[in-house]
Amino acid sequence: MSVCYDPRGLTWDNYCRYMAELFAPNDLGTVPEEQWQQWAAGVYGIGYFAQSGVPDPRGFQNWQDWAMAVVGIMSIEDK
């Protein structure tokens, strides 16, 4: 079962840190909010996420919208 953090109510720093910890074997690390698209592009490029249909972050205006799309996709996969 896939698990992904719901970004609602989280700051970027918390979301990024939680995701980096959750997927530590992928060595995501953390970045400042200004670099969210580069970080998310790294997530997008990881095989597990790419196979799950995680969207390219370049189509999103902010990290919250991208993260909500990720939650929706990861939830659908597990049903």
pLDDT at 74: 65
Is the confidence at residue 73, as pLDDT, over 80? no
Tell if the pTM clears 0.75, that is, is over it.
yes
pLDDT at 79: 37
Q: Which residue has the tokens 């400042």?
A: 32
39: Cβ contacts below 8 Å, ≥ 6 apart: 16, 28, 29, 30, 31
Taking the CA atoms of 61, 3, 73 and 40 in sequence, report the sign of the dihedral they define.
positive
What pLDDT digit, counting tens, does each position of 8-65 carry?
A: 999 999 999 998 988 888 888 999 999 999 999 988 888 777 777 888 999 999 999 9
Alpha-carbon gap, residue 8 to 31, rounded angstroms: 19
Q: How many residues does the chain have?
A: 79
Amino acid in position 17: R
pLDDT at 1: 39
Check if the beta carbon of residue 17 is closer than 8 Å to that of residue 30. Answer: yes
